[in-house]
Amino acid sequence: MRVEPIDLDKLDPANAKICEAISGSRGGIVDGPFRVWLRANPELAARMDDVSSVLRESGKLDRRLIEVAILCVARFWDARYQWAAHAPIALEAGLTQDVIDSIANSTRPASAPDDELIFYDLSISLLELRQIPDALYQRAIDRIGFGGMVELITTIGQYSLAAIVTNGFDITLLSGGPVLPERP
């Protein structure tokens, strides 16, 4: 383990306050990239939590669809932490196990409804091709509007950043969770 879990009892009062705010927005847990950011730069951790909170609390997109994008990011980056944390959330948000398994196995989920396929196709296109073809962009705009596109693309970017940090520091979910399979 490259970065030990945060010991709340060893934080100075200012950092403890930041840690408390972060854990409050995350079900009492401070882990993943926040474990790294809090150790190196608590202000960075606080700002990253602000971005996450805005997307989570003010976002207009269906949580089920956001989880499609997050799982695509986790699969693309082979991010074990994000996968273990978000596969159960995705199931709870309404994704079927078949769709989750398809993403885990790097295959387009054929049984998914059209809205999930739009999010899958856009996420994979942006991650793998580094761009979105015009026809796909228009399909997404027609479905979720410009504000939805900003939210979706920002989510893909934010979770890519988190995946890079957790991978770089070899962070895994402390409490276990579903295991991301090796790529086929």
Global pTM value: 0.92
Q: Domain coordinates of the chain in residue numbers?
A: 10-58, 63-168
The band of 8, judged by pLDDT with boundaries at 50, 70 and 90, is confident
The pLDDT, as a whole number, for residue 9 is 78
The pLDDT assigned to 130 comes to: 97
DSSP 9: G
59-104 residue pLDDT tens: 899 999 999 999 999 999 999 999 999 999 999 999 999 999 999 9
Class of domain 63-168: mainly alpha
pLDDT of 127 higher than 70: yes
**Is pLDDT above 80 for 175?**
no
DSSP string over 154-174:
HHHHHHHHHHHHHHHTT---T
User: For residue 150, how far is the Cα from the chain centroid?
Assistant: 15
